Amino acid sequence: MFTDTHCHIYKEYYENIDEILKNAKENKINRMINNGCDKKSNSEVLELIGKYENMYGALGIHPENVEEYIQEDIKLIEKQLNHKKVIAIGEIGLDYHYTKENKEKQKKLLEEQLSLAEKYHLPVIIHSREATEDTINILKNYKTKGVIHSFSGSLETAKIYIKMGYLLGINGVITFKNSKLKDVIREIPLENIVLETDSPYLTPEPFRGKRNEPARILEIAKFISELKEISIEELARITNDNIKRIFDI
């Protein structure tokens, strides 16, 4: 049985969430971590983890929402962290893809949420796009651990994150024809990775272009088990041990 360590199961993407979870179970995915991005999705995550036994939650403000969030939203997250099934702070991070103009604001938002993680001893789920250097420099200042979500950097960058105690979140990108990620993962011990879908985005081959869902972890798992020449069962065991170490589930 596998765990999807990063998805966005919100009503705006899925009209029938019961079915998405049923489909996941039929494909050997028995747990998932639903990640919030802003005040609205955080409250939806809370609602859904109350309803579905096998769904856990991560709450956070995503860097793409840096212009919309207000200070009250962070205070609200802090209050909501006492929920038993909220197991991480995420999705948080830095994203310079669309604009670098609000860099300082993004950094401040990330730092604030890392402080929360430190205060409440919670792991973090980090989004970093075109911002590797700043991400590393900021994470160095905190005693946090967690996952570098959707990792797609170089072997050198992978080694830096691993040395800092982070796991690499690997998703459908590794199955894409032009992706160099497989060359990196070939060199990395499996003790350093977790599997994720980032649903509804980043659908693995051969379903690329369709809406993603947690059931597709199995496609990513098959790809990695072939790449690393181990059985699917062994991959499940190792990645679940990694999850247990970081998230305590």
Contact region with Ni ion (CB under 5 A), list: 40-48, 76-84, 89-97, 212-220: 89-97
Q: Does 95 contact Ni ion by CB under 5 A?
A: no
> Distances in Å between the alpha carbon of 118 and those of 10, 11, 56, 86?
27, 31, 20, 15
Write out the H or E segment, with its range, that includes residue 135: helix 132-139
To Ni ion, the closest distance from the beta carbon of 204 in angstroms equals 15
Which CB sits closer to Ni ion, 176 or 232?
A: 176
To Ni ion, the closest distance from the beta carbon of 7 in angstroms equals 8
| DSSP class per residue in 37-82 | -SHHHHHHHHHHHHH-TTEEEEE---GGGTTT--HHHHHHHHHHTT
Which residue spans within 113-195 are E strands per DSSP?
124-129, 146-148, 166-170, 193-195
With CB under 5 A as the contact rule, the residue among 198, 202, 221, 242 that binds Ni ion is 198
> Distances in Å between the alpha carbon of 199 and those of 121, 166, 171, 231?
27, 22, 10, 25
Contact region with Ni ion (CB under 5 A), list: 73-81, 90-98, 167-175, 241-249: 90-98
To Ni ion, the closest distance from the beta carbon of 62 in angstroms equals 8
Which CB sits closer to Ni ion, 34 or 157?
A: 34
Contact region with Ni ion (CB under 5 A), list: 86-94, 117-125, 155-163, 164-172: 86-94
Binding site for Ni ion (CB under 5 A): 91, 198
